[in-house]
Amino acid sequence: MEKENNIENLEKQRREFIGEIRKLKEEEEKSGKTVHFSNVNPEELTLEDAECWSKIKDSSITEEDLKNYRDKLLDKEWRPKEGVNKSRTAFFAFINNRASIIFFQRESPLMEQKT
């Protein structure tokens, strides 16, 4: 029974994540900018992607988190690993860009002065 509830909860989290990414993609398309999500089919994203997105949203992502996520998706030459779909690699590119901004903001003395 507990396992079933956990599975249902994980699936609910995934559906909410997919809905959120779908909305972002639609907003980007309406504005005429499809840079980030043009190659992302939200239905192909996973709970791993959702977990990383959550860390981006609350700015808690670490360089180790990003490396672990990348290593699950890409080989050492940054090519998609066997079985990793195009949506996930495109989403990783978006996550990588957002993480770079977060890392810069943490380390930049200029950013500290503005807060």
Q: What is the mean pLDDT of residues 66-92?
A: 96
Quick one: pLDDT at residue 111?
60
Domain total in the chain: 1
Calpha distance 102→59 (Å, rounded): 6
First CA to last CA distance, the chain: 48
* CA torsion through residues 23, 26, 32, 37, sign: positive
Which structure tokens are listed for 110?
Answer: 């200029």
pTM score of the predicted model: 0.84
Quick one: pLDDT at residue 115?
45
Domain that holds residue 102: 2-114
Quick one: pLDDT at residue 2?
67
H-type helices in the chain, by residue range?
2-30, 47-57, 63-73, 86-107, 109-114
pLDDT surpassing 70 at residue 13: yes
